[in-house]
Amino acid sequence: MSPSFWAGRQPTKAAVISTSGAAPITWLELEQRSNQLARWWRANGIARGDHVALLLENNVRYYEVLWAALRSGLYLTPINRFLSVDEAIYILDDCGATCLITSQLHADAGRRVAESRQRLSSLANDGRRRAVI
């Protein structure tokens, strides 16, 4: 069932609970945040059938990106945060990602991937594809 189903029935109940001490995310928050990201992708030319990549530590925000991708008809490719820059670049090339999502914690790694790969610079500037760092 999608977050919208549960957001309508149990909006204040926890959808995601972290053992790290982060505040739980309610069904309504999950619905709103994933919808906001889906709208952002659409506004930036990322369309159904495109691929997005995710470089993220174990984080409750993963679910927001996952549901945004599902509701948008996008393919989501998670990239293990312990991989080297070259390995991350290989995955980006292989999946044809039109967007890279990362957290503040991994922003430096995301920038290194973009800087070490001219392809991501062109993705960000070709009018259709975007690199989000």
SS3 string, 37-87, reads HHHHHHHCCCCCCCEEEEECCCCCCHHHHHHHHHHHCCEEEEECCCCCHHH
Q: Is the pLDDT of residue 125 over 50?
A: no
Q: Residue 116: which pLDDT band, with cuts at 50, 70 and 90? A: low
Of 117 and 25, the structure prediction assigns the larger pLDDT to 25
Q: Using CB atoms within 10 A of its CB, is residue 49 exposed (0-12), middle (13-18) or buried (19+)?
A: exposed
Given a contact cutoff of 8 angstroms between Cβ atoms, the answer to whether 102 and 61 are in contact is no
Q: What is the pLDDT of residue 5?
A: 79
Q: Residue 107: which pLDDT band, with cuts at 50, 70 and 90? A: low
Q: Mention the CATH class of domain 3-125.
A: alpha beta
**pLDDT 10s digits, 27-51:** 999 999 999 999 999 998 899 999 9
Rounded distance, CA 66 to CA 47, Å?
15
Where exactly are the structural domains of the chain? Answer: 3-125
